C-alpha cells in the first residue's frame, strides 16, 4: 500500500530520479527560467526553494548544504552571492510555475519554472 508516501516517482528508480532533480535544480538556479513538464517542475520546486532559503540565511555550513543539491560551483556561488541577498526580505515563494501549453510529441503539459 502507498499510504502516506508522497515521493514523486517520475517513472524512474531512485538514483536516476535524484540525478534528474539535481540537474534540473542546477539549471533553474543558473538560467533562472527553465521549460519542463508540469510533474518535474512541481517536484523540483521545493528543492529550489530550500536551496534559496539556505543561501539566504548565511549559515556557516551553507556551502556544504547547497553543495549536496547543486552540482556546479557556479550555481553554488550564484545562490550565495546573488540569489540569497536578492530574496533576503522575502519569506519563501521564490519560484513561480507558469503553464505554456502542451508538447507536440506526447501532449505532455509544459510549464516554465522561474524566479519571482
pTM of structure: 0.91
d(CA 48, CA 78): 13
Distance CA 3, CA 50 (A): 25
Domain boundaries, the chain: 14-115
The string of pLDDT tens digits covering residues 79-98 is 999 999 999 999 999 999 99
Mean pLDDT of 3-8: 88
Tell me how far apart the alpha carbons of residues 112 and 32 are, in angstroms, rounded to a whole number: 10
Q: Are 102 and 108 in contact (CB under 8 A)?
A: yes
Tell me the per-residue pLDDT of 43-62, one tens digit each, with 9 for 90 and over: 999 999 999 999 998 888 99
**Mean pLDDT, the chain, whole residue set:** 95
DSSP-assigned states of every residue in 61-87: THHHHHHTT--SHHHHHHIIIIIHHHT
Mapped onto helix, strand or coil, the DSSP state of residue 102 is: strand
14-115 belongs to which CATH class? alpha beta
Amino acid at each position: 500500500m502507498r499510504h502516506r508516501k508522497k515521493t514523486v516517482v517520475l517513472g524512474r528508480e531512485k538514483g536516476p530520479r535524484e540525478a534528474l532533480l539535481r540537474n534540473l535544480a542546477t539549471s533553474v538556479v543558473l538560467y533562472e527560467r527553465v521549460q519542463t513538464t508540469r510533474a518535474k517542475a512541481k517536484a523540483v520546486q521545493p528543492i529550489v526553494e530550500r536551496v534559496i532559503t539556505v543561501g539566504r540565511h548565511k549559515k556557516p555550513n551553507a556551502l556544504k548544504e547547497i553543495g549536496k543539491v547543486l552540482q556546479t560551483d557556479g550555481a553554488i556561488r550564484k545562490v550565495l552571492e546573488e540569489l540569497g541577498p536578492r530574496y533576503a526580505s522575502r519569506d519563501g515563494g521564490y519560484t513561480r510555475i507558469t503553464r505554456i501549453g502542451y508538447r507536440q510529441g506526447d501532449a505532455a503539459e509544459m510549464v516554465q519554472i522561474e524566479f519571482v
